[in-house]
Amino acid sequence: MASILVVDDEAGIREFLQIMLEREGYEVSCAAHGREALNFFEKTKYDVVLADIRMPKVNGFEVLSKIKEVSPETRVIMITAFASFESAVKSMKDGAYDYITKPFNVDEVKMTIKNALQKRETLGETAPRRKGVEGTRIFEGMLSASPEMHKIFDLIPKAGPSKASVLVTGESGTGKELVARAIHRNSPRGEEAFVIINCGGVPEQLLESELFGHKKGSFTGAVTDKMGLFEAAHKGTIFLDEIGDLPLLLQVKLLRVVQEKSFKPVGGIQEVNVDVRIISATNRDLEKKVITREFREDLFYRLNVINIQVPPLRERTMDIPLLAQHFLEKYSRASGKDICNISSYALKVLLDYSFPGNVRELENIVDRSVALETSSIILPESLTLSRFKREEIRDEIVSVDIPPEGINLDETIGKLEKHLLLKALERAHGEIKKAAQLLNIPYRSLRYRLEKYGIKEGKDASGDDSSL
């Protein structure tokens, strides 16, 4: 049983974390301030410490410093307000394992602690503990019995020590970020900052400032200097998720950072030198985007020095029972329910499903099933699957050729239109206005067409997520 010390001057937060972590099976102690925490630590050496950064008298930085002095193997996770990003980065440079932000994301807290504890164990340990699956391995928070995934597990410790850029490819929901984090942890930079940005999730006009920072007065709203994420990741790793969505103008600036290890903030005149390892990820076909000149060829080769392709879940079906049971245990504990198994009929439904949203979708399905189930076993009735499968969508793509017997023009055009609507929603991550812009049609026209073909709005329609 792992031991955890929670240090926070807010009683409500201490109580919340203690209850949540004890339900996860940890032995938990709480300290109301930094001095009390250090007194506890003189008597007991804890496996993990959760310490708030801002506390009176003895703050979180001092707690971190003292603990790393007397117990370097203890993993210290800092607690910070969302706005205190720079403080969190500083703490990691001072030896903190990671940080979590207020308000808490419960799953993120659990995963961060689990990863911190796993770091203390032998990497790549074979763990045939899961029933019914031979050769199961747990590696850096990833669980698989698939030979394809095992090859990735074996490659990560080799790629980690290298300084080379890494490109992780694969469909949405396959676990590309987990792979990136594992590479970072297996590198000499493993104790430094791991900074993430979704290149497709930030408006283009703000993305340059997010990446490279800006100087006061460089544009309307720039009331102070701001550090960019590249500078925040100095000595560590930056993870550029959805790199295929990076605008061409920023691709030029990123290429210069890769080559010269320096950049100028927006509105700045001084070069900022950085030592950053770049890991990128995409669910797009970047080679095709290079051919169509949507992505720079020179940047592609700079980022794609080491390529790791994560297979979709439908190509490693042996992992479905394993992962489903893992998520069942996870969400049963979290909800306080005693649901111990998945019925054979429910498992067959999962095995017959194509999982367009991959592991993320499987987790969502199990989470929802646990919430809805009233018995002690998951039944097929509790499973909510996406209405659209990628295989079915592909089957609806028609040839432009006309066979001897002729075609039904309206039906053929309808199938093609439906396919393009779904594709636009997928590219737009379920955002109706963005999908309408991709198709160059009015917003109301798109709404009408979605209703015409019975396509539900939201991410469910795109296949990225089964929830509405």
One domain for residues 291 and 332: no
Check: pTM over 0.85? Answer yes or no.
no
Nearest to 330 by CA among 20, 9, 53: 20
* Residue percentage of the chain with pLDDT more than 70: 87
One domain for residues 67 and 189: no
One domain for residues 368 and 442: no
Token couple for 7: 């240090």
**In this predicted structure, what is the pLDDT of residue 337?**
84
User: Domain boundary residue among 99, 119, 139?
Assistant: 119
What is the identity of the amino acid at 153?
F
User: Does 332 fall in a domain?
Assistant: yes
Please check the confidence at residue 339 and state whether its pLDDT lies above 60: yes
CATH number for the domain harbouring residue 424: 1.10.10.60
Please check the confidence at residue 128 and state whether its pLDDT lies above 50: no
CATH number for the domain harbouring residue 177: 3.40.50.300
One domain for residues 378 and 400: no
Convert the pLDDT of each residue in 162-217 to its tens digit. 989 999 999 999 999 999 999 999 999 998 999 999 998 888 778 888 898 888 87
One domain for residues 192 and 288: yes
Mean pLDDT value across the chain: 82
**In this predicted structure, what is the pLDDT of residue 396?**
41
Number of domains in the chain: 4
**In this predicted structure, what is the pLDDT of residue 391?**
40
User: Does 197 fall in a domain?
Assistant: yes
Q: Where are the beta strands (DSSP E) in 151-193?
A: 166-169
User: Domain boundary residue among 382, 412, 433?
Assistant: 382
CATH number for the domain harbouring residue 347: 1.10.8.60
**In this predicted structure, what is the pLDDT of residue 265?**
86
Q: Using 50, 70 and 90 to split pLDDT, how confident is the model at 92?
A: low
User: Does 135 fall in a domain?
Assistant: no
Per-residue burial over 40-79, b = 16 or more CB atoms within 10 Å of its CB, e = otherwise:
bbeeeebbbbbbbbebeebbbbbbbebbbeeeeebbbbbb
Q: How far apart are CA 59 and CA 71, in angstroms?
A: 18
Beta-carbon-side half-sphere exposure of residue 442 (alpha carbons within 13 Å): 3
Convert the pLDDT of each residue in 352-381 to its tens digit. 888 999 999 999 999 999 998 877 778 777
Q: Using 50, 70 and 90 to split pLDDT, how confident is the model at 60?
A: confident
SS3 79: strand
One domain for residues 446 and 325: no
One domain for residues 110 and 164: no
User: Does 101 fall in a domain?
Assistant: yes
Q: Using 50, 70 and 90 to split pLDDT, how confident is the model at 219?
A: confident
**In this predicted structure, what is the pLDDT of residue 379?**
78
One domain for residues 294 and 198: yes
One domain for residues 253 and 299: yes
Q: What is the span of the domain harbouring residue 164?
A: 160-309
Q: Using 50, 70 and 90 to split pLDDT, how confident is the model at 342?
A: confident
Count Cβ atoms below 10 Å from residue 303 Cβ, excluding itself: 26
**In this predicted structure, what is the pLDDT of residue 93?**
62
Convert the pLDDT of each residue in 415-447 to its tens digit. 888 888 888 887 777 788 888 888 888 877 888
Q: Where are the beta strands (DSSP E) in 26-129?
A: 27-31, 48-52, 75-81, 98-102
Token couple for 269: 């005149």
One domain for residues 360 and 238: no
User: Does 126 fall in a domain?
Assistant: no
User: Does 410 fall in a domain?
Assistant: yes
One domain for residues 234 and 345: no
DSSP state of 105: -
Where is pLDDT greater, at 129 or 248? 248
One domain for residues 286 and 267: yes
Nearest to 183 by CA among 116, 73, 71, 280: 280
Mean pLDDT of all residues in 380-392:
63
CATH number for the domain harbouring residue 38: 3.40.50.2300
Mean pLDDT of all residues in 302-323:
94
